[in-house]
Structure 1
Amino acid sequence: MLKDAQGLVITTDSAKAIAAIDRFIDQALCYGRDSETAILQAIAADPTCALAHAYAAAYYLTQENRNSWQRALPYLQAAQQNFAKITTREKLYVQAILAWANQEIDVAIAIHEEITNKFSRDLISVQQGQYHYFYTGNKEKLLQIAQKVLPANLQNHYIYGMLAFGLEQCHQLKAAEKMARQAIALNIHDPWAHHAIAHIMETQGRVDEGITWMEAFADTWENCNSMLYTHNWWHIALYYLEQENYQKVLKIYDTHIWERADKQSPKDQVGAISLLLRLELRGVNVGNRWQAISPYLYSRIDEHALPFQDLHYVYALAKAGHHDWVNQMLVSMEYHTLSINPFLRHSWVEVAIPAARGMVAHANGDFNAAMMELKFVLPRLHEIGGSHAQRVLFEQVYHDAVLWTQKQSWVYAVS
């Protein structure tokens, strides 16, 4: 057995496998573009390393699409085949990823908590715990899972970026900025810390400062995966949106968001959709950009990786005029609720599905229906995940529907 760069034991005798695992961990924590390559190199170096297989499965699950889920399965099977001889931590991690693959998110969360209680240097487990808390709307736990391991990772810049994001989501903005700047003091090129400060400055209305801050680091994001590259540029676009510099926003969309997106990536698709919608809510003509996105969304109709994402997909399909696809997706969302565990089902049934109906109604110009559907779910939208900056979009759609309904009532009254 050997140890990784975090000081954690891994069941392998291959130094090459350890080096590749260390590379994978670093790439995963910095949202680098070489995560997949690194972990496949680890498996090639030691095909019996269960943890490497589990890391590969986790990587594919984070891609949030059916093809990647299917790619995860052989790696999970390989991890299980070598299960008997591995350490307690590795067994727990394999079990956490199996639970995730089975959509038993509550079980996965509990295991990640156990791992981080016993093995506080395991920042991959912290990151994946935060991921699950983020998409189940538990911002307090998202923060706490990072807070408890800070004493064991005081010289690791990644933990400060994780803490900064958790603190920001819990509205502790001063503490969040302090943590983000600590991360950057340790590593000026930490893109997740840049991202945390983007959130903070946006929340505080520091628009000009936010543009200067983010654009100063933009060149360093070339090494990020498409998700964080496009998402950090999405934050820059939001600043220019506040300045009403809509041509600049469209240019960012065309050059740094959709052009640089992995067109098959759900996260990249969601970022593009949400920016187009924000522009349209401000009266900007986005041309044929809805039609350019929509062909890539067909495979999302029956996928239902995350309810937060489905609300974006169904809106974009409606805006592109694919009404048959929209109806198919709404029905599919209903059927999906029959096959998931109760921990997830209530948020789909009580929040996501009525919100999806409201989003479709707004896209179709039925503002009264949009208002009625969205009104009662707005207080619970955090349950389906997303950040404050992302979820505010649904509030904007609701308020837009209210304004249009009031205008229509006024027209009827004077006529």
Structure 2
Amino acid sequence: MTCASDAAAVAFDHAVAGYLTYRLDTAARVKACLAVDPDFCLAHVLRGYLTLAAFNLATVPAAREALALAKTAAVNATAREQAHVAALEAWVDGRLDELLARWEAIVARHPTDVLAFRLHHFNAFWLGRPEQMLAVVEATLPHWELGLAGRGAVLACRAFANEECGNYTVAENSGREAIALDPGDIWATHAVAHVMEMQGRRSEGILLLRDLEPHWQGGNNLKHHLWWHRGLYHLEREEFDEVLALYDKGFRNLGSPIVEMQPDLYIDVQNAASMLFRLQLQGVDVGDRWIELADKAEGRIGDCLNAFTLPHWMMALVHTGRYQAAEAFLAGLEAAAAGSDTIAGLVRLYALPISAAVLAHGRGRYQEAVELMRPALGGMYRLGGSHAQQDVLEQLFTDAAAKAGSKSDVLMMLERIAGRYPVPPENRIGYRHSATLVA
């Protein structure tokens, strides 16, 4: 690296370690690094990367500022560092296909550049490209010798990439290997939790998360997502009071320092909205929990940086009866869909029709919801999100089809679900009733 001192290099490593392990103080670590060396090119790049990783349109100016400082500092930087600057510029400008290609090129030349590797994993996931996640991690892992710092993070990514590609044995083994290296590895725990969700190992999943929870101290919002996963296990067991308790004290936990820092962070919104929606499909009274989400949704109209979050914002607006705001939200999606960048295509083909289907479903226009959503089903995974996260959209379609009396559409979705989950649809809470319609 090109930096002013060994102290600056150590501070940068500390910041990258914070990112890899989902530490709440990662931004403070980056700030401390720049205090040691204000002209540190890669530190400015890291600040820009982390700013954009929040998927919040309001923070893009700060990322542009970081990019400008990185460019100034890159005059004497190495080719690898300059490649990172170019990647940051592609991300700022929304050129996401180019972004992934630039990180792939860095990793091909420098297989242990864990920052390029991990950011590629992150963004490929949110673009619905598990095949790229898997290809990069399998090509990279042989370069990570036993004992090399960062190996656990690579193993955790290997676990999740394999899980999303249906390779559950490899996924679980890699995840457990990473957990053995660090019981506080939240991403590795997350990957194993996904395996258990897909395989219907609910009791085992609850025990896994309960036993590892003490190691999550100092973690950021991703630990909320682990509580959400635990909530999914309890939901399948029809333990609705436990789910609501996890919502209030775990993965939403209003008033906690983490939520106060980023009250509308994409992953927290997805956790909350998708769980409330699932509960309501089961006839559970969720009280006024939708209101604070809807308040925040109104403030994010026109912000489409994370396409998968968009139907979740719409759920909050619909379930609080804010139909005028919902129409404005759709207008914002239409404006975004008119663009030419990567996200515009995702919004146009998937986020817009699915969000419109959420609105139609909420208004009781079930056949309309089915017609809106059906053409998007085949490529819906391109919105990003895991199988477990996308499942709420599949439940939406199934419920609409069942209420519209469209047995053919119900059957189509049940076949789709059966092809992905080892657990039969009739043994999953979101599909039991619909399965009886076509039995």
Which category of TM-score, normalised to the shorter sequence, fits these structures?
over 0.9
Who is 2:90 aligned against?
99
Alignment of 1:34-183 (within 5 A): 34-155=25-146, 156-183=151-178
Distance in 2 (alpha carbons) for counterparts of 1:141 and 1:154: 22
Who is 1:313 aligned against?
313
Residue 350 of structure 1, CA deviation: 1.8
Tell me if the contact between 1:92 and 1:115 (Cα under 8 Å) persists in the aligned partners: yes
Distance in 2 (alpha carbons) for counterparts of 1:307 and 1:407: 28
- State whether structure 2 residue 244 is matched by structure 1 residue 253: no
Residue 68 of structure 1, CA deviation: 2.0
Who is 1:329 aligned against?
329
Distance in 1 (alpha carbons) for counterparts of 2:19 and 2:60: 18
Runs of 4+ in 1 over 4 A off after TM superposition: none
Who is 1:6 aligned against?
none
| AA in 2 matched with 1:307 | A
Who is 2:410 aligned against?
none
- State whether structure 2 residue 389 is matched by structure 1 residue 390: yes
Who is 2:414 aligned against?
none
Distance in 2 (alpha carbons) for counterparts of 1:21 and 1:364: 51
1:33-75 C-alpha deviation (Å, 9 max, x unpaired): 1110011111111111111000001011011112222221211
Tell me if the contact between 1:135 and 1:306 (Cα under 8 Å) persists in the aligned partners: yes
| AA in 1 matched with 2:193 | A
Who is 1:200 aligned against?
195
1:325-381 C-alpha deviation (Å, 9 max, x unpaired): 11111011111122332x443322122211111111112222121111122211211
Who is 2:276 aligned against?
276
Q: Unpaired segments of 5 or more residues in structure 1?
A: 1-9, 409-415
Q: Unpaired segments of 5 or more residues in structure 2?
A: 408-439
Residue 120 of structure 1, CA deviation: 0.8
Tell me if the contact between 1:191 and 1:221 (Cα under 8 Å) persists in the aligned partners: yes
Residue 244 of structure 1, CA deviation: 0.3
Distance in 1 (alpha carbons) for counterparts of 2:267 and 2:175: 23
Change in 2 beyond 3 A, CA 1:220/1:401 = same
Distance in 2 (alpha carbons) for counterparts of 1:195 and 1:344: 26
| AA in 2 matched with 1:351 | Y
Distance in 2 (alpha carbons) for counterparts of 1:291 and 1:188: 36
| AA in 2 matched with 1:210 | G
Residue 320 of structure 1, CA deviation: 1.4
Tell me if the contact between 2:293 and 2:313 (Cα under 8 Å) persists in the aligned partners: no
1:280-318 C-alpha deviation (Å, 9 max, x unpaired): 111111011111221122221111112111111112111
Who is 1:293 aligned against?
293
Residue 97 of structure 1, CA deviation: 1.0
Tell me if the contact between 1:163 and 1:176 (Cα under 8 Å) persists in the aligned partners: yes
| AA in 2 matched with 1:373 | L
Tell me if the contact between 1:103 and 1:340 (Cα under 8 Å) persists in the aligned partners: no
Distance in 1 (alpha carbons) for counterparts of 2:134 and 2:145: 16
Tell me if the contact between 2:7 and 2:36 (Cα under 8 Å) persists in the aligned partners: yes
Who is 1:265 aligned against?
265
Who is 2:236 aligned against?
242
1:250-288 C-alpha deviation (Å, 9 max, x unpaired): 000000011143313122112111111111111111011
Provide the secondary structure at the position in 2 that maps to 1:225: coil
- Aligned partner (choices 212, 221, 236) of residue 216 of structure 2: 221
Residue 187 of structure 1, CA deviation: 1.6
Number of corresponding residues: 397
Residue 407 of structure 1, CA deviation: 9.6
Provide the secondary structure at the position in 2 that maps to 1:12: coil
- State whether structure 2 residue 188 is matched by structure 1 residue 189: no
| AA in 1 matched with 2:350 | V
| AA in 1 matched with 2:179 | I
Residue 136 of structure 1, CA deviation: 1.7
Tell me if the contact between 2:305 and 2:343 (Cα under 8 Å) persists in the aligned partners: no
Distance in 1 (alpha carbons) for counterparts of 2:301 and 2:386: 23
Tell me if the contact between 1:24 and 1:35 (Cα under 8 Å) persists in the aligned partners: yes
**What is the TM-score normalised by the length of structure 1?**
0.93
1:157-191 C-alpha deviation (Å, 9 max, x unpaired): 11100000000000000011111111112222211
Distance in 1 (alpha carbons) for counterparts of 2:145 and 2:171: 16
Tell me if the contact between 2:160 and 2:191 (Cα under 8 Å) persists in the aligned partners: yes
Distance in 2 (alpha carbons) for counterparts of 1:238 and 1:20: 38
Who is 2:352 aligned against?
353
Tell me if the contact between 1:222 and 1:229 (Cα under 8 Å) persists in the aligned partners: no
Tell me if the contact between 2:338 and 2:348 (Cα under 8 Å) persists in the aligned partners: no
Distance in 1 (alpha carbons) for counterparts of 2:155 and 2:225: 20
Provide the secondary structure at the position in 2 that maps to 1:148: helix
Distance in 1 (alpha carbons) for counterparts of 2:242 and 2:266: 24
Alignment of 1:6-21 (within 5 A): 10-21=1-12
Greater mean deviation of Cα atoms: 189-198 or 294-303: 294-303
Residue 122 of structure 1, CA deviation: 0.9
